[in-house]
Every structure is written in C-alpha cells, then in structure tokens.
Amino acid sequence: MSGELLLEVRNLAVEFPTQDGIVHAVSGLTFSLRRGETLGIVGESGSGKSVTNLAILGLLNSERSKITGEILLHGQDLLKASPSQLRDVRGKDVAMIFQDPFACLHPMYRVGDQIAEAVRAHIDVSKSRASERAVEVLDAVGIPNARQRAKDYPHQFSGGMRQRAMIAMALVHNPDVLIADEPTTALDVTVQAQILELIDKVKRDFDIGVILVTHDLGVVAETAQTVMVMYAGRAVEHGPAREVFDAPQHPYTWGLVQSMPSIEAKVAQLRAIEGSPPSVIHLPSGCAFHPRCPHRFDTCLKVRPPLEHLEGGHADACHLDATSKRRLWEEREAARLGIGA
C-alpha cells in the first residue's frame, strides 16, 4: 500500500470490568490504514471488531472500560485526546456507519435535517447552506431526486436508501477514515452489493481509507486490499487480501474460507467450524482457538502463539510450522472439493 498513512493502531487493548470478571474484548491489536486502502476486519460475534471501532471513535464509556495502547490518527494519539478533541475528530476526520440503518437514523427528524446537523456540528454555516450540503451528499451517494427526498423522514426510505443516507452523512466533511461496521448485514442481498459498490466508489471519489467490519468473508473478498481476521479479541491472521484468501495460514481462517459458499462448492461441501466462540471472560489457555482447532497439539494448550510475520506483509498466530500448514490446507481443500476421493 502506497497511500499516506492515516491511522495506526498499536497494541490496543480494551477491557470491561464486570461483576463476573474482566472481559478482554480486545488484546494486543496492531494495524494501520492508508489513504485509498480498504481494511477488512473479519470475525465472529464477540471477536472484538465493533469494540475496536468504537474505541477509535472514542465512543466507549470511559468509566466502564479500560483502554490501553495507542490509536494514532495523523500521528496524534486519540487515547490521550480530551473529550472535546475527540468530538472534533468524530464525524469530521473519522466517520462511521453502522449495521442497522433502520435504527440508526432518528425517526422523528427529516433525513436532510439530520445530515445538515452533521454539517453544522463541525463548521459554522447557515442552516440553508448546511441543507444544500446535505442535498449534495445525498446526490453523491445516488439518492434519486435528492432535493425532494431530503425532506422525507427515515421511515419513508427503504433499507438500502437509509444506508446510503448514513454514508452521505458520513461524507459531509470529507473525512479521512470511514468505518463501516457490518454495513450490509441488515440488508437484502441485492442491496448489499450496491452498498459495497457505493462504499468502494466513495473511497475512490473522496480518496479516503475504509475500515470494513464484517463477519462475511465474501464481502471482504470483493472490496478489501488488506484483511485482518480476529478471534477472541486478537488478530490471528493479517495480510494482503489476495494472500489471505489464496494461502490462508491460520486454521481459523481455513474454517472461515471453507464455510464460505461459492459457485464451485455445493452446500454439502461447506465446512462449519465446530464449537462456538469462547467466553471472553474465561479465555481458553494458550491459543484461544485450540478447543475448536482440529490440528491442535500440546503446545497450543499451554502457550499463546504470537502474531508472526511471514514474507509479503502476511502474518499469523499459529504454532504449526509452515510446511505442516501448507500440507494441512491442501489436504482440507482436497477433501472439501472431493479431489482424490
């Protein structure tokens, strides 16, 4: 990736003390985002994807969470920023869109007014100028007849249009970073593709960096240049998207890739990952994935594997050596596709 470095997260950890114990939502997370790049963060529910994003935006309740590490935006550490500095960043430098566009717009205000409000949150312009800007961005995200539709209430919009409106709202200040937290999960399949295309388009048109959070590898495969796979609050695999899809290194990623439907693989050939995500309060010893891993051995139960870098910026956290990984992956693929059977 060649673009300007926008965001750098170093060794981020987020803990929530609860009555049952400390929830380790995110641990030792390091990644960066450049202009023009889409970073796909993939993982199951509870893997810490959303918490990471809320931490970047400073939207976690500081009284109920403990955040350590560094979140550098243009070199400035957001974790050391004051609440008012953070408020200045939110919506202006870093904008976010969420999973459920049905619930994310205020039901009692007109769509255009809500976008205009976002304009006026950061720059001192007249209401009519802000409304003009709202119409501009609504038009830019492909809302037909934007001037008229800006006067509608959210319930008069379809799900896809609401997500477009959310994207429009995120774009009013030409932010550097757009965080999209499962932006297509709540939408129809046909609309999903349109929204992904739109996110890709605004990334190019507005020249920004995008963090795309999803549990759907297919979504990432289509749009991301870099992929980070998270499990139980940690990155287990991280690298260029092509590498991660063509030569996945971590058994968890294998599971994700092989549970992804495709034209070639029939439903019977889909492989589920056995078991369920671990409790984030009582994490398994050693490698957090070991209870569900078919290839575990003794070390996995005792020692947590570090994220080790391979050539080409690809990194993974697994105790298996490179040769075994290649062999196991090829065996799994062969078994799945029925080759040699």
Partner 1 sequence: MVVYILRRLLWAVVVLLAVTLITFFIFYKLPPGDPALRFVGKQPTTESIALVRHNLGLDQPFYVQYGKFLKAIVLGDKYGWPGLGYSYDSSVPIRDKIIEKAPRTLSLIVGASILWLGLGVLVGVISAIKRRTAVDRIAMGFALFGISAPVFWLGLMALFIFWYKLSLTAGTGYTPITESPTQWASHLILPWIVLALLYAAIYARMVRGNLLDAMGEDYIRTARAKGLSERTVIFHHGLRASLAPIVTMFGLDIALLVGGAVITETVFNLDGLGFMAVDSVFRQDLPATLGVVLVATFAVVFMNLVVDILYAFLDPRVRYG
Block residue for tokens 């010893």: 285
- Beta carbon of residue 105, minimum distance to partner 1 (angstroms, whole number): 6
State whether residue 192 is helix, strand or coil: helix
Closest to partner 1 by CB, 180 vs 221, is 180
Q: CA-CA distance, 270 to 258, in Å (whole number)?
A: 6
- Beta carbon of residue 107, minimum distance to partner 1 (angstroms, whole number): 6
Closest to partner 1 by CB, 33 vs 273, is 33
Closest to partner 1 by CB, 6 vs 111, is 111
Residues that bind partner 1 (CB under 8 A): 57, 59, 87-92, 95-96, 98, 100, 103-109, 117-118, 121-122, 153, 155, 166, 169
Q: How far apart are the first and last CA of the chain?
A: 41
Closest to partner 1 by CB, 91 vs 209, is 91
**Residue 69: phi, psi to the nearest 5?**
105, -160
The residues pairing with 178 across neighbouring beta strands, listed in sequence order, are: 95, 210
* Nearest-10 crossing angle of helices 189-206, 159-171: 10
- Beta carbon of residue 11, minimum distance to partner 1 (angstroms, whole number): 25
Q: CA-CA distance, 20 to 173, in Å (whole number)?
A: 42
Q: CA-CA distance, 27 to 11, in Å (whole number)?
A: 7
- Name residue 216's amino acid: D
- Beta carbon of residue 10, minimum distance to partner 1 (angstroms, whole number): 23
Closest to partner 1 by CB, 208 vs 236, is 208
- Beta carbon of residue 172, minimum distance to partner 1 (angstroms, whole number): 9
Closest to partner 1 by CB, 16 vs 153, is 153
Are the beta carbons of 96 and 171 closer than 8 angstroms?
Answer: no
- Beta carbon of residue 178, minimum distance to partner 1 (angstroms, whole number): 11
